[in-house]
Amino acid sequence: MVNVIGLGYIGLPTALMMAAHGIEVIGTDYNKELVHALNAGHITFKEDGLDDLINKAVSAGIKFTTEYQATDMYIISVPTPYNKFNKKVNPDYVISAVKDVMKVCSKGTTVVIESTISPGTIDKYIRPIVEENGFIIGQDLNLVHAPERIIPGNIIYELRHNNRTIGADDNAIGKKVKELYTTFCKGEIVVTDIRTAEMTKVVENTFRAVNIAFANELSKICRHDNMDVYKIIEICNMHPRVNILQPGPGVGGHCISVDPWFLVGDYPTLAKVIDEAMKTNDSMPDFVLNRIYEIMKEKGLTDIKRVGLYGLTYKENVDDIRESPTLQLLESQERHLATGLKVYDPFITEDIFMNQYHNLDEFLNSVDLVVVMVKHNEIRMNVEKLVDKIVLDCQNIIHLPNVYHI
């Protein structure tokens, strides 16, 4: 039996996928309301294919509980935030999960940590705790790191098809875990050592963050001298060895906006390019806010309450708002002692903000300036409703005469 610890965006789909492919699975989470909902067959976030997957998993016998199980295989998928002061990974949730595992686990158990961690986290934080509790690593308990590689909006496909990395002290244990993942994963699964597995996941997301930062910095340079950054990128990308990404209003989510900071925190004198790239990405919501004020001044708008932000999630067509650029922009506005921006997102149905709307037409009727923060399909399909509005398009998807860009 596999006990999956943490039933969020990563742990829950993983548990369901394993159960649907014949593995006996019990999912554990401290959140009683979440566990109750899952046992009733209700998914707590939107994702294509997830409803069908939970039906298959429930039919196969998956159970959910707040209790850790006595078994020989655990998958830990709990949050790993970063310390905003020193930029280091905060391993507290992982440490807590491992401690609880050791209270009930069988001898010879394998603990697979899927949570993204900085290189050396298992050596610095997990091994000492295991040994302090009287466990002999490699005999009483085996440690493995198998970082996830999925993204909200495409979780089911990527669970099945993305390549995976498994880091283990013992190659035989690594192969055993590989066999478990092979039950549902069609991608290539590489077995390596733990520290290499830790590093590769962080490096993958850092690569993406640095490339996004380059595009964002280009947008600032081009704005400074009134050049069209999109046209420049389009022409540059005609070169066979150039592939510049598109600039945007910032970076959010659970990976690209967080993981690169782990390297900055652990290697502050070495990770200079990464540090500057992350600062560039983090500055974009403020850059957008400044553009709003510039456009308001140019157009003679005086009431910030007539400005609306379209999109609250960190990416298109999902309901995930973690670290979203819109949230960062709203926080920045509050730091400047100003409030009043209206917000709307078709994927966020709960009231979580003041001045939040739940209908596109009502939202548009209440504002003069629309700031497109997220390129949901909805706004792409309703461009005609923006004809009489002033638009700040942060995603380069609205092609009308009255459109401004970042």
* Residues recognised as catalytic: 201, 255
- Helices of type H across 1-154: 11-20, 32-39, 50-59, 92-104, 121, 127-132
Angle at alpha carbon of residue 44, lines to 39 and 50, rounded to 5°: 85
- Helices of type H across 251-347: 259-266, 272-299, 325-335
- Helices of type H across 322-369: 325-335, 360-365
Q: DSSP secondary structure string, 127-185?
A: HHHHHHTT--BTTTEEEEE------TTSHHHHHHHS-EEEEESSHHHHHHHHHHHHTT-
Alpha-carbon Rg for the chain, nearest whole angstrom, is 23
Task: Please state, in angstroms and rounded to a whole number, the distance separating the CA atoms of residues 54 and 94.
Answer: 25
